Amino acid sequence: MFLKRNFLSLALVAGILSLASCNKSGEFSKTPSGIEYKVFKSTGAGKYDARDVSADGDATYKDRLGKIMALHVEYRTGKDSVLFNSRKQQMGFPVRVPLDTVRKAQRGGLEEAISLLQPGDSAVFRFNVDTIFAKSFRQPVPPFMSKAGKTMTMFVKVDKIQTREEAMADVQKMQVEQQSKMAAHAKDQLQKDDAALQAYVQKNNLKVQKDTSGVYYAITSAGSSLKPKAGQIVSVLYKGSLLENGKVFDSSEKMGNKPFDFALGQGQVIPGWDAGISHFTKGSKGILLVPSSLAYGQRGAGADIPADAILRFDVELVDVKNAPAAQPAAGGQMDEAEMRRQIEAMQQQQGK
């Protein structure tokens, strides 16, 4: 479900891309736990040599315990679809991972792979999906991952190793720079998006209204007089497409024609939905035109929603009801968006 507030996806680091493409014919080495890997050591001037890793792991890892590794990372499915890429998510800043002792239960997972890396390394790791989900995600393999093949690949470029104090100072500096960059970019992009939206409205002869937030909406079929209030649960049928080319990236049809339920105005969806759906009444149908700053912004989402993408949603507000006093946590297997959300949450937790 692309409507959840996850910000994942990223083009691979140029050095790693060229590195991987130049070594496609090369054989992966393999750890006793089953991780396939290619590790490369920088020799300067943009050149790399393959680096051997002992079957017992990297003997120098003990010297890095307790420190923080700053690295750029990308995860891909067996069909090469990007699940997560740190560079775009963090606007060019690396993620940070605490280096701790790798427990037996973590062998074959992300933790063991990270322990094989030294400062300046680049690497490609290939995991068995059953193992990686059991070891690192502690979840059954979701159907979309099973359909994509038996492996998950991780591309890595190590930036540096730091003490916790050094890493904390860097993170604080990064947050200030990141907020400044995002604010400047959003301000400039909003003007571009609004011009594109107005041109689209005129070209398609749409009768729309503009919300104070910047969302354009049109009611094409009236419903009842019941308008949802913040905190109430709304059920929505929808089709989401890119304004630029009309490509559909998500829809209720893909989800078995089941309405998507969420609490209005609680930040459970993109801001453009919280603002736009509030103007609909139960049973009404219409269109939402959402500028990128109220959707997925500069980060984009997955392989289907690029950075700074303006979105169109054709929606129907099926139902409005009061929220239950307490809602149990959802169970079952993860879908693709939930998988991406968990990866992002894991990276954020590791970076603290």
Catalytic one among 238, 260, 262, 280? 238
Q: Which of 114, 310, 313, 343 is catalytic?
A: 313
Question: What type of residue is 204?
Answer: N
| Catalytic-residue membership of 238 | yes
**Which residue of the set 68, 260, 296, 343 is catalytic?**
296
Amino acid residing at 257: N
Q: Mark whether 250 is an active-site residue.
A: yes
Structure tokens at 287: 């269109």
* CA neighbours closer than 13 Å in the CB half-sphere of residue 22: 12
| Identified catalytic residue from 121, 193, 250, 274 | 250
Q: Which of 352, 221, 214 has its CA nearest to residue 287? A: 221
Amino acid symbol at 227:
K
**DSSP assignment, residue 319?**
E
From CA 315, how far away is CA 286, in angstroms rounded?
5
Active-site residue, from 211, 233, 249, 335 = 249
* C-beta of residue 116 within 8 angstroms of C-beta of residue 32: no
Q: Exactly one of 16, 35, 161, 270 is catalytic; name it.
A: 270
270 is catalytic: yes
As a whole number of angstroms, the distance between CA 273 and CA 278 comes to 8
Give the C-alpha separation, 230 to 247, whole Å.
31
Q: What is the CA radius of gyration of the chain?
A: 23
d(CA 291, CA 197): 8
Dump strand ranges (E) for the chain.
29-30, 36-44, 47-50, 68-76, 82-85, 95-98, 122-128, 151-162, 209-210, 216-221, 233-242, 248-251, 260-263, 285-290, 311-321
CB neighbours of 190 closer than 8 A, spacing ≥ 6? 214, 291, 293
Active site residue 37: no
Catalytically annotated residues: 238, 249-250, 270, 296, 313
